[in-house]
Structure 1
Amino acid sequence: MNENQKSKPLLLIAIVATLVVCAATGIMLLQTIQPENSSWFPKCQFYQATGIHCPGCGATRAVLALLHGDVLLALRNNALLILGGPLLVIYIVRQNRRPNFDPRSTLRVVLIMVTVFVLFFAARNIPSPKSSPFAPVPTAK
């Protein structure tokens, strides 16, 4: 086993540990500081400037709803994140476990992801950003 092969598992462990620490920190922040009641959480700059929902709008509220066990509210706030996020993680894990993979398959997946992203962006704003069934649930003020 050469030096490069020995360092790969250590790098993977470091990456996973960093992701776990970041996720745990984010979960603790969401549990202690409610996004609706605090200006600490950033607002969507695209929505602030245009009044149009980007594909990421409602992601914080969706994660918070998931933490509280409300899957339907999470889906209502950002279905792309809730449904697509786990699928993306599964794809990345599967690709990294394959010794030989075809780069064309990665290109196909990227094209599919971009298409879904654009379609979700359009669906969130048709017929209007306020009346679309895919728009995030408005926050109570």
Structure 2
Amino acid sequence: MNENRKSHPMLLIAIVTTLVVCAATGIVLLQMLQPNHDSWFPKCQFYQSTGLHCPGCGATRAVLALLHGDVFLAVRNNALLILGGPLLVIYIIRQNRRPDFDPRSTLRIISIMVTVLVIFSVARNIPSPTSSPFAPVPVAK
């Protein structure tokens, strides 16, 4: 294994612990303070200024729906996050565990990710931001 890629167990434990604590805190907050128009959850600035959905619009509601066991609503709110997120994590883990890892593959995956983000952004706003099948479910006022 490459000298630069040696694992540091204490650093890995610290990173995993931090991620687990942050995720658990986020889940508790999401359960207690559900996102809606009157909450303190940040609104999408891109949507607020343009009326168009960005790739992240509906992500908070998608995670909340997933926590409540409603996979269909989660996918409806942000399909890219719910379906693509786990695939991306699996890909990154597999790539970094390969002994013949090629750093150039990182550039390829970034290019693919940017392309998918652009296509998803366009798709969720066609034929219009309110009637696209990829647009998040509108929040009840």
Q: Same fold (TM over 0.5)?
A: yes
- Greater helix share, structure number: 1
TM-score in terms of structure 1 length: 0.92
* Distance of 1:134 and 1:104 partners within structure 2: 32
1:34 CA drift (Å): 1.1
* Per-residue deviation, 1:16: 0.7
- Contact 2:57–2:78 (8 Å) recurs in 1: yes
Give the drift of 1:120: 0.1
Unaligned runs of at least 5 residues, structure 2: none
Number of matched pairs:
138
Q: 1:9 & 1:140 partners in 2: Cα distance?
A: 47
In the alignment, which residue of structure 2 is the partner of 1:56? 56
> What is the CA distance between 1:32 and its match in structure 2?
0.6
Runs (4+) of structure 1 exceeding 2 A deviation are none
1:140 aligns with 2:122: no
What is aligned with 1:86?
Answer: 86
Give 1:113's aligned amino acid.
M
SS at match of 2:81: helix
Q: Which residue of 1 aligns with 2:107?
A: 107
Structure 2 counterpart of 1:28 = 28
The percentage of aligned residue pairs carrying the same residue is 80
CA offset at residue 93 of structure 1?
Answer: 1.3
